[in-house]
Structure 1
């Protein structure tokens, strides 16, 4: 198997990204969104992240968008400005090929280069072994579980919180 090309997302990638995310909303528990957003909304979200200084990548394999990953603000309050939350979604045809790990690795490297110090993963559904495994292999530590905070497909779902340092982490204060 050849390695995917991981590169910054461009707007031409957004129809494929939208299709991947719509399927995740309709069929999965990784996202707690209930109604799949359309291309216009996904384009708005993409632009807001990129214009806000956050990285957004796609993995291209076999001429297709195999998956995507991005980082965004963890919380809106300014004291959180050095902390990002990451998201990774894969086309189901490309699961279990290491693409999620490659996307996460690239995202971590880019977030470190941009001066972020902490990365948080908020993983939908504590049964999401694939995402938990990708993050564990990526150096994340388990922080905790919020039990039964989401209701989707008629059942209560947990969220798993994982975290890792970026760069110097909390070892120094930025700008000092």
Structure 2
């Protein structure tokens, strides 16, 4: 049996529909998103437009097929937070537990070390999304706190857990 070839690259507009499909799998599962119903590429046009060289959107492929994505989003629209990013990772359900999330987090670490130079990366994870909590903890993120009953999704209030990681240096 041949070993699968995994690679990570910047997302292109041609990936947007796949990115949204992967996100919508999480919507259907009901544990990982703020959405109650599926979204479209058009719904996220502004979101896609925010990504740039300092705040990239990547996809991870297995044998050339996109199986997941990772975004380093702007944390807060104020210059005081320029050295902080919010991270989001979504993996296609059929590709769960294959090390793709771990591979993406290692890639992000290397990108920050080599060129992005963020000082802090923050992840907001719903309390019921234990697999994501475990992934981030196993990859050097610490539990920083919680926001109880902060979001109302599908008619119920949900708690967000905050995980974060500080890096040795930020941009000068």
* Same fold at TM > 0.5: yes
Name the residue aligned to 1:15: 17
- 2-structure distance, mates of 1:40, 1:101: 30
- 1-structure distance, mates of 2:5, 2:30: 26
Structure 1: tracts of 5 or more residues without a match:
none
Deviation (angstroms), 1:155: 2.9
Structure 2: tracts of 5 or more residues without a match:
none
Name the residue aligned to 2:119: 117
Runs of 4+ in 1 over 3 A off after TM superposition: 41-44
Name the residue aligned to 2:99: 98
SS at match of 1:26: helix
- 1-structure distance, mates of 2:105, 2:148: 25
8 Å contact kept, 1:55–1:107: no
Name the residue aligned to 1:42: 44
> 1:116-141: CA deviations, max 9, x gaps?
11000111x21211111111121111
SS at match of 2:48: helix
8 Å contact kept, 1:7–1:57: yes
Name the residue aligned to 1:59: 60
8 Å contact kept, 1:74–1:83: yes
1:78-157 matched pairs, under 5 angstroms: 78-112=79-113, 113-123=115-125, 125-157=126-158
Deviation (angstroms), 1:3: 4.5
Deviation (angstroms), 1:154: 3.6
SS at match of 1:164: strand
TM-score when normalising by structure 2: 0.88
- 2-structure distance, mates of 1:63, 1:115: 29
Deviation (angstroms), 1:162: 0.7
SS at match of 1:49: coil
- 2-structure distance, mates of 1:43, 1:110: 25
Name the residue aligned to 2:78: 77
